[in-house]
Chains A and B, each alone.
Chain A
Amino acid sequence: MILLKENDFILINFNFILKNKHYIIFFLTALLSLTNLWSKTITVCSSCTVKTIREAIQEASDGDTIVVKKGIYKEANLKIDKSITLIGEDHPTIDGEQKGEIITIGADNVTLDGFKIINVGVSYTTDYAAVRVVRSEGFTIQNLELEKLFFGIYLQKSNNGKVLNNTVRGEAVTEFNSGNAIHLWYCSNVEVRGNDVRNVRDGIYLEFSDQITIIDNFSKNNVRYGLHFMFSNDNSVTNNQFETNGAGIALMFSKFMDVEHNIITKNWGTASYGLLLKEVNDVNLKNNVFKENTVGITVEGSNRLVYANNDFISNGYALIVKGACYDNQIIANNFLYNSFDISYNGRIHDNKFDNNFWSNYTGYDLDKDGIGDVPYRPVKLFSYIVNRTPEAIILLRSLFIDIIDFSEKVSPVFTPDDLMDENPRMKRIDHDKN
Chain B
Amino acid sequence: MLKILKYSFYDLMRSRWSYVYFGFYLLLGVVLLFLNNDLSKAVITLMNVIIVLVPLIGTIFGVMYYYNSKEFTELLLAQPLKRSSIFLGQYLGVAISLSMSLILGLGIPFVFYGLFMSNAIWDFSLLLITGTFLTLIFTALAFNIALSNENRIKGFGYAILLWLFLAIIYDGIFLMSLILFADYPLDKLSLIGTMLNPIDLSRTLILLKLDISALLGYTGAVFKQFFGTNFGLIISFSALTLWVVLPVLRIAVKARKKDF
Q: Is A392 an interface residue (CB 8 A)?
A: yes
Query: A388-B182, A397-B211 are known contacts. Are A316 and B206 too (CB-CB below 8 A)?
Result: no
Q: Is B41 an interface residue (CB 8 A)?
A: yes
Alpha-carbon separation in the docked complex, A115 to B37 (Å): 52
A294 and B41 contacting across the interface, CB-CB below 8 Å: no
Partner pick for B47 among A315, A359, A385, A397, CB 8 A cutoff: A397
Query: A388-B182, A390-B219, A391-B187 are known contacts. Are A396 and B214 too (CB-CB below 8 A)?
Result: yes
B172 and A339 contacting across the interface, CB-CB below 8 Å: no
Query: A394-B194, A396-B207 are known contacts. Are A317 and B214 too (CB-CB below 8 A)?
Result: yes
B217 and A316 contacting across the interface, CB-CB below 8 Å: yes
B184 nearest CB neighbor, chain A only: A391
Contacts of B220 in A (CB 8 A): 390-391
Report A292 CB to chain B, min CB distance, Å: 5
Q: Is B27 an interface residue (CB 8 A)?
A: no
Q: Is A402 an interface residue (CB 8 A)?
A: yes
Partner pick for A337 among B40, B51, B168, B219, CB 8 A cutoff: B40
Q: Is A31 an interface residue (CB 8 A)?
A: no
Q: Is B186 an interface residue (CB 8 A)?
A: yes
A339 and B211 contacting across the interface, CB-CB below 8 Å: yes
Query: A337-B41, A339-B214 are known contacts. Are A391 and B168 too (CB-CB below 8 A)?
Result: no
Contacts of B78 in A (CB 8 A): none
Alpha-carbon separation in the docked complex, A269 to B206 (Å): 19
Contacting B at CB under 8 A, from A380-430, are 385, 388-403, 427-428
Partner pick for A388 among B38, B179, B190, CB 8 A cutoff: B179
Contacts of B203 in A (CB 8 A): 396-398
Query: A270-B216, A390-B219 are known contacts. Are A396 and B182 too (CB-CB below 8 A)?
Result: no
How many residues of A sit at the interface, in one of the four size bands?
Answer: 35 or more
Report B211 CB to chain A, min CB distance, Å: 4
A400 and B172 contacting across the interface, CB-CB below 8 Å: yes
B44 nearest CB neighbor, chain A only: A337
Contacting A at CB under 8 A, from B5-52, are 37-38, 40-41, 44, 47-48, 51-52
Q: Is B178 an interface residue (CB 8 A)?
A: yes
B178 and A392 contacting across the interface, CB-CB below 8 Å: yes
Query: A388-B179, A389-B182, A401-B171 are known contacts. Are A394 and B214 too (CB-CB below 8 A)?
Result: no
A272 and B217 contacting across the interface, CB-CB below 8 Å: yes
A296 nearest CB neighbor, chain B only: B213
How many residues of B sit at the interface, in one of the four size bands?
Answer: 35 or more
Q: Is A340 an interface residue (CB 8 A)?
A: yes
Contacts of B171 in A (CB 8 A): 395, 398-401
B218 and A391 contacting across the interface, CB-CB below 8 Å: yes
- Over the window 256-298 of chain A, the binary record of Cβ atoms lying under 8 Å from chain B Cβ atoms (1 yes, 0 no) is 0000000000001110100000000000000000001111000
Q: Is B167 an interface residue (CB 8 A)?
A: yes
Residue among B168, B174, B218 with the most chain A CB within 10 A?
A: B218
Alpha-carbon separation in the docked complex, A402 to B175 (Å): 13
Contacts of B168 in A (CB 8 A): 399-400, 403
A339 nearest CB neighbor, chain B only: B214
Query: A337-B40, A392-B179 are known contacts. Are A316 and B213 too (CB-CB below 8 A)?
Result: yes
A316 nearest CB neighbor, chain B only: B214
Q: Is A180 an interface residue (CB 8 A)?
A: no
Alpha-carbon separation in the docked complex, A403 to B215 (Å): 21
B44 and A294 contacting across the interface, CB-CB below 8 Å: no
Report B148 CB to chain A, min CB distance, Å: 26
Q: Is A314 an interface residue (CB 8 A)?
A: yes
Contacting A at CB under 8 A, from B167-193, are 167-169, 171-172, 174-175, 178-179, 182, 186-187, 189-191, 193
Contacts of A295 in B (CB 8 A): 217
Contacts of B48 in A (CB 8 A): 397, 402
Report A395 CB to chain B, min CB distance, Å: 6
A316 and B204 contacting across the interface, CB-CB below 8 Å: no
Alpha-carbon separation in the docked complex, A316 to B211 (Å): 6
Q: Is B210 an interface residue (CB 8 A)?
A: yes
Alpha-carbon separation in the docked complex, A178 to B72 (Å): 76
A269 and B182 contacting across the interface, CB-CB below 8 Å: no
Partner pick for B213 among A315, A389, A395, CB 8 A cutoff: A315
| Supplied contacts A270-B219, A391-B178, A399-B51, 5 more A-B pairs, CB within 8 Å | A294-B213, A394-B207, A395-B175, A396-B207, A397-B51
Interface CB pairs A-B, < 8 A, 19: A268-B212, A270-B218, A316-B217, A317-B214, A317-B217, A340-B214, A385-B175, A390-B220, A391-B186, A392-B175, A392-B178, A392-B179, A394-B190, A394-B191, A394-B193, A396-B203, A397-B48, A398-B171, A400-B169
User: Which positions in A face B, CB cutoff 8 Å?
Assistant: 268-270, 272, 292-295, 314-317, 336-337, 339-340, 359, 385, 388-403, 427-428
Q: Which 5 A-B pairs have the closest CB atoms?
A: A316-B214, A339-B214, A400-B171, A316-B213, A294-B217
User: Which positions in B face A, CB cutoff 8 Å?
Assistant: 37-38, 40-41, 44, 47-48, 51-52, 167-169, 171-172, 174-175, 178-179, 182, 186-187, 189-191, 193-194, 200, 203-204, 206-207, 210-220, 223
